[in-house]
Amino acid sequence: MPIRYKNVCLEAFAHTLPEEVVTSQQIESWLEPLYSRLRLPEGRLELMTGITQRRFWPPGMPPGRMSIETAARAIELAGMDTRHVGALIHGSVCRDFLEPATACGVHHGLGLPENCMIYDVSNACLGLLNGMVQVANMIELGQIRAGVVVGTESSRSLVENTIKQLNEDTSLTRNDVKSALASLTIGSASAAVVLAERQLSRTGNRLLGGIARTNTDHCQLCQSDGMQTLMNTDSEALMREGITTAATAFTKFLDCMGWKVADIDKTFSHQVGSTHRRLTLEALGLDPRVDYTTLEYLGNTGAVALPMTAAIGIDSGHVEPGDNVALLGIGSGINVVMLGVEWQSEP
């Protein structure tokens, strides 16, 4: 599905990180009963994923509380008058309640206008990108002047419950453990994006459009009843089919943008693991030097991974005025969203 915009700009990316750092070495020490029983070599978690550490929020921290902080920072960075914010979308896997929408508490905490449309979006690791498309659509249609997309992922319960299950279930074999590997790479973080109409924009960073593509023949490869409990993932098959879907989508993306691979100056992609990143960039024909990565020290932070990485990369000077920037989102399901940005300046 091709998407084109003429009147939408990206005003700000913001992120918030937890203070508590948990290394892969620590996780393996907590898995000592499993490692001893199956005689697993130490260091395999980091070796297989390229992830040295991830972070946890304090126990019991509701995602919405951090989303308020991150969204407020994004609005401040954008210099946005909140009366112009006509939509707020909360797009992370994690949320405060089944109902009401986490966006309700975030809206209240930010003091946004009563005429601001609010709701949650859930689509695995693509929630925030889907939210960006929806806000951009509303801006392009002239329904709103600006909008905020925000989310916060919390990995503590998922990782701790996975460790508990692996240690207690003595029937598990080495092969059984593979399906839990992805759960041990999950990290916590928060990210927010502000979008605005061109007339209101202070940056001129145009969101040009993009594509969306689905391949639901493989919707069973990663399944969870929530990041607070357990997740079962066929990591090898998910990586293989995800990269195949992304490669097909990338061809459509280039056609939609009118770009060649050489026209892409910088990229931000979903952060899964080092092997996934390498093989994805190879399949898309992209030079790894144009891509920015955070997976090594933040792990896989779900739906906030790409916008959070963009926020950190922008802060570090990875993107320069005049760059064509590609946002390459891939999520279980399998779903792909790729967006193109004409970058001009930081807020």
Residues involved in catalysis: 99, 125
Selection from 314, 341, 306 nearest residue 124 by Cα = 306
Asked, as a colleague might, if the bond just before 100 is cis with ω within 30 of 0, I would say: yes
CA 115 to chain centre: 28
Which helix (H) or strand (E) element contains residue 44?
A: helix 44-49
User: In sequence order, what are the residues at sequence separation of 6 or more whose Cβ sits closer than 8 angstroms to the Cβ of residue 315?
Assistant: none
* Beta bridge partner(s), residue 6: none
- Rg of the chain on CA atoms, in Å: 20
The owner of tokens 């997309």 is 149
For 170, the 3-state DSSP assignment is: coil
Selection from 298, 193, 311, 211 nearest residue 252 by Cα = 211
* Distance separating alpha carbons of residues 85 and 284, to the nearest angstrom: 36
* Distance separating alpha carbons of residues 151 and 192, to the nearest angstrom: 7
* Distance separating alpha carbons of residues 261 and 238, to the nearest angstrom: 25
* Distance separating alpha carbons of residues 340 and 326, to the nearest angstrom: 5
